[in-house]
Amino acid sequence: MSTHSHLAHFHLSPRRGRGAGLTVHLRTVIWLLALVSLAACAVNRETADITPGANLSQLKSFYVVKFDPDERGINGLIANQLTAMGYVATTGPEANKPKDIDAIVTYRDKWMWDMTMYMLELDVTLRNAQSNYPMAVGNSFHTSLTRKSPEEMVKEVLSNIFNKAKGGTG
């Protein structure tokens, strides 16, 4: 019997037991597709970019502008994290920003539902207080299977920005 006819006989032969022949291949394909689908739901992305020429080491005071749609107090979490990192940080509406600060912090948070609400993405931008020009941008994106608390995402973004500014990776 040639190899070709042997393969044809294998695929066309009746099943001799559960999972025999073609059914084994079909089950394998289904399991692989299920695993790939599950892995696609587990996305984790974190980035930080520093504008060329920006010197974040000279920044000592920050004003976090509250993002109008934010009802979860992310502005407070950002200000608290900056304070924990050794900076002076205050927060409030854009109209109340003080004149004697080094940088303005703006952010955008995006939330999703998966059994509970969770923060899907956080973008943070550090801006020059006088020109409002972006000096650094950081992002954290975690889907449901890799979700982090808002505090963890704030810490992740700010740590990545300042580590990248010091020559690290972010």
14 and 84 within one domain: no
Rounded-to-integer distance, Cα 10 and Cα 2, Å: 12
Task: Count Cβ atoms below 10 Å from residue 72 Cβ, excluding itself.
Answer: 14
Say if residue 56 is in the same domain as residue 127. Answer: yes
| Full-model pTM | 0.73
pLDDT of residue 10: 43
Whether residues 97 and 51 share a domain: the answer is yes
pLDDT number for residue 79: 98
Asked if 150 contacts 74 with a C-beta cutoff of 8 angstroms, the reply is yes
Residues 69 and 132 in one domain: yes
Q: What is the pLDDT of residue 22?
A: 61
Least Cα distance to 67 among 6, 26, 108 occurs for 108
Is the distance from CB of 90 to CB of 63 less than 8 angstroms? yes
Residues 53 and 137 in one domain: yes
Judge if 59 and 87 occupy the same domain: yes
* Packed helices 74-84 and 150-165: angle between N→C axes, nearest 10 degrees: 50
Give me the pLDDT at residue 116, please.
82
- In this structure, is residue 170 part of a structural domain? no
Range of the domain at 22: 3-40
Q: Which residues of the chain fall short of a pLDDT of 70?
A: 1-26, 28-44, 144, 168-170
Q: For the chain, what is the domain count?
A: 2
Phi/psi at 41 (5° precision):
-80, -10
In a shared domain, residues 54 and 28: no
Task: For residue 87, tell me if it sits in a domain.
Answer: yes
Three-class DSSP category at 97: coil
